[in-house]
Amino acid sequence: MDAIKFVEQEFTQGKNFPVFAAGDTINVHYKIREGAKERIQQYQGIVIQRRNSGINETLTVRKISNGVGVERIFPLYSLNIDKIELISRGKVRRARLFYLRSAKGKNAKVKEKRG
């Protein structure tokens, strides 16, 4: 086995995340360090994309805060991610939902998957 793949496998083995894809609403519990203190901040929004694979995998989460769209990119296997909760599954037909950036009102919503 390649040495890089071995290290990646060891690093990603301890993380248990729910299965989620673009269009799903998730809640990311992210550790924030402020000086010597550490706290957990929740970031809830719609997954716009998942990118790369293995240890390099990232996810982009978009939420609306005070009427302004805010996106944040999280490295999936970061040590700062405490846990990820799946809130709801979205019914979408694409892997990248960049059209949500320009959508307003009802068009900016993603239908919920049934069953």
pLDDT in tens, 49-104: 999 988 899 999 999 999 899 999 999 999 899 999 999 999 999 999 999 999 99
Q: What is the pTM of this model?
A: 0.88
- Amino acid found at 48: I
Going through 2-98 in order, the beta strands assigned E by DSSP cover 25-34, 37-51, 58-65, 68-75, 81-88
3-state helix, strand, coil in the chain (%, to 5): 20, 45, 35
What is the predicted pLDDT for the residue at 87? 97
Where are the chain's structural domains? 3-105
> Look-up: residue for tokens 């997954």?
47
What is the predicted pLDDT for the residue at 14? 77
Tell me which architecture the domain covering 3-105 has in CATH. Roll (2.30)
pLDDT for residue 115 is more than 80: no
